[in-house]
Amino acid sequence: MLQFDRVNLDAQTEKLRAEVRAFLADNKAHLTQPNSDFVTGHDPAFSQKLGERGWIGMTWPKEYGGGERSFFERYVVTEEILAAGAPVSAHWIADRQSGPLLLRYGTHAQRQTYLPQIAGGQAFFSIGMSEPDTGSDLASVRTTAIREGDAYRVNGTKIWTTDAHRNHFIICLVRTEAAAENRHAGLSQIIIDLKNDGAQIRPIANMAGGEDFNEVVFEDVVIPADRVVGEPGNGWEQVTSELAYERSGPERFLSSFRVFVELIRACGDDPAPHQAAAIGRIAAHIMTMRRMSISVAGMLEQDKDVGVEAALVKELGNNFEKVLPEIARLAAPERGAVQAFRKTFEETLLLSPSFTLRGGTREILRGVIARGLGLR
Amino acid sequence: MTDANTEVRQLILDSAAKIFTDHCDKPLLDAAEQGQFPGGLWQLVADNGFDQLGTAGSGTSAGDMYAFIQLCGEHAVPLPIAETLIVNSWAPGQGIASFGELSGDVIKGVAWGREAARVVGLARDSLEVTVVETPEVVEQGVSLAGEPRDTVSAAGGATITLSADPYAQAALTRICLMAGGLQTVLDLGLQFAAERIQFGRAISKFQAIQHSLAVVAAEVAAAKRAAYSAVDALDDNRFVFEVAASKARVGEAVGIVAEQVHQIHGAMGFTHEHRLHHYSRRIWSWRDEWGNEFYWQSLLGQHLAQLGADQAWPFIATRG
Ligand SMILES: Cc1cc2nc3c(=O)[nH]c(=O)nc-3n(C[C@H](O)[C@H](O)[C@H](O)COP(=O)(O)OP(=O)(O)OC[C@H]3O[C@@H](n4cnc5c(N)ncnc54)[C@H](O)[C@@H]3O)c2cc1C
């Protein structure tokens, strides 16, 4: 039950790590505001450079622009760029979940259309799950897509849609058939072009001073039928599989990482005992979660279902992302060279309420783990 | 690790688990906590060669030895078996052996020192240890788990020098014991929650209980993964730091897991009759032996501070 196998990354993967570090060192201009939160920092030029290096869509088949590399190689690239605090939000969702979703369930034509663009760092995707009256209870979505000949007419509102105002496409979970006894039936996923299909997009300011998420309104938006992902009516299975990808990566425990780095800098090379302990405590947690996360990459590599394990690492990771700044603030020196620490700490603290919400709340994840334990 | 080795390990663990399930029961644990050495159980362990795991010629590895120690934690085995194994790995020998912390001319905190034919005294930050044959017991004591922790004389001891930090190796035994004990506490929580009926249904059906067990399961999974990391670093120059991270992390899990699972057990878990406390008291005591979380966190943090902020990530991003 809940086994996190040991993994040793091979020499090829470590060589790649060195390449990523060299690349980051050469691209300091994109790293003037390091932040390990994957939503903070939207830099299409940087994403395109990653695409050119073959670091987006790394595990996908070559025929769709992928690199046919292992999940461990992808893991190493993602953890290195997050730890450096690079701006990754532009391509992140497309690389992490929209691409894999299309690869698994999309039609050949959909794969040919979208995957090479994603892998090149040129097509960015948003997630269209949440609605004003649909949060954790995802099956309650009300946005409808009604078949009319060769097209679907879409009506409804999506909300909290990260980067909808910047990205090119959104994959929406919609009702293609009226809700019935089985509420998981009649749901589908449909690709909508955010620039050209007539979606109305309104940014929503967040409490941290950013405008990253949006309200997206569809009023009689007509979408060609071939934009339905996979089979109409199969939306629930698809969205569940997408969520496992959404929850599985190192962005679920590294969001606060730069606070840790600045804490060490602020404490200097001769820390007081309580400062050393705070640094060591944080390191112990990160070292452990990182290894668990690599175990999940290993499960993905073996094509195993990672639903429960990914939820478990996300649960540990998101909680610790919030605890980390709490430990750091009491350990950091109050005087001296603390400006960089204060800035990073304050930015992260203001973002921290979102850590245990996005991608499934803490309460929902605990439910997933409980199901894995056979309790429900 | 090759498949053949995996098979050997599984055989060892299966046969040991059978012995512990059959013999390491509640009456034996109660008697041991009253100071009665379970000689019969020791004999079974020795007859099966479990006291020689990992030694040259045993056909088993140090990894097998630590996996076995974890199993002993799962069963709360009330023997100085982890101690005997470690001492045998330092200085081959037969019979019961143990170790403790060298303090002047005595060795303190020796598990079952009163039964030991050999006791090793070790100290923080030193590769030198003192081996004493049939030492004189100066004072008998017990841990909060009722495990004998004696003070013995270091007189007449011989000094030997080890290649890997003995204090960290001592801590690693506690890490593995805790990893095993934590698993059993989780299992007891799951079992009790499924069996206890209130408001007409099993309490495992209440969301509050489910969430509590989910938290416990996550902590136990983290603790086990952290334990493997320290074992995997045995031959590595990072060994002490991996032990530091591991003992700090596992120790934190102990506080959370013991608290939550006692809560789930209600009053029943607070009785002497229920076996939960044999495990919860042990994991509570093991987290304080051979350096508590603060000690190991500080050691690790000091090292990171010396490496510098920009070397923190390269330090963390290991291959294994
Ligand atoms: C920064 C950020 C970015 C986001 N980006 C996107 C995006 O790009 N696309 C997208 O579709 N969504 C996005 N979301 C939305 C996110 O998925 C939702 O916030 C999340 O699913 C929870 O929904 P909700 O906010 O409506 O809260 P609710 O579901 O209303 O929950 C409120 C509280 O009740 C608890 N709760 C709900 N149900 C239960 C239950 N059964 N048992 C116990 N407790 C329960 C929750 O855990 C939570 O604490 C984003 C959210 C944030 C914060």
Instruction: Give domain limits for chain A.
Output: 11-123, 127-233, 249-372
Mean pLDDT rounded to a whole number for chain A = 97
A14 in contact with B at a CB cutoff of 8 Å? yes
pLDDT of B4 reads 63
Residue A375, pLDDT > 70, answer yes
Mean pLDDT rounded to a whole number for chain B = 97
Give the number of residues written for chain B: 320
Ramachandran angles phi, psi of B233, nearest 5°: -95, 10
Question: Residue of the nearest CA to atom 37 in ligand 1?
Answer: A136
Using pLDDT thresholds of 50, 70 and 90, give the confidence band for residue B1. very low
Span A290-299, average pLDDT? 97
What is the C-alpha to C-alpha distance for residues B57 and B60, in angstroms, rounded to an integer?
8
List the one residue out of B290, B98, B102, B299 whose CA is nearest residue B178: B290
ipTM confidence: 0.97
- Ligand 1 site residues, Cβ closer than 6 angstroms: A 126-130, 135-136, 160-162, 213, 354, 357-358, 361, 363-364
Using pLDDT thresholds of 50, 70 and 90, give the confidence band for residue A3. confident
Q: Quick one: fold of A11-123?
A: Butyryl-Coa Dehydrogenase, subunit A; domain 1 (1.10.540)
Residue A294, pLDDT > 70, answer yes
Does domain A127-233 fall under CATH 2.40.110.10? My reply is yes
The verdict on a CB contact (< 8 Å) between B232 and A6 is yes
Using pLDDT thresholds of 50, 70 and 90, give the confidence band for residue B89. very high
Residue A316, pLDDT > 70, answer yes
pLDDT of B72 reads 98
At B150-167, the pLDDT tens digits run 999 999 999 999 999 999
What is the C-alpha to C-alpha distance for residues A28 and A47, in angstroms, rounded to an integer?
14
Residues 76-95 of A with CB under 8 A from B: 79-80, 83-84
Of B215, B296, B319, the CB nearest to A8: B319
pLDDT of A363 reads 98
Using pLDDT thresholds of 50, 70 and 90, give the confidence band for residue B41. very high
Q: Report the percent of chain A where pLDDT is more than 70.
A: 100
Using pLDDT thresholds of 50, 70 and 90, give the confidence band for residue A325. very high
Residue A257, pLDDT > 90, answer yes
CATH of domain A249-372: 1.20.140.10
At B237-285, the pLDDT tens digits run 999 999 999 999 999 999 999 999 999 999 999 999 999 999 999 999 9
Enter the pTM of the model.
Answer: 0.97
Residue A37, pLDDT > 50, answer yes
Residue B2, pLDDT > 60, answer no
B226 versus B2: the higher-pLDDT residue is: B226
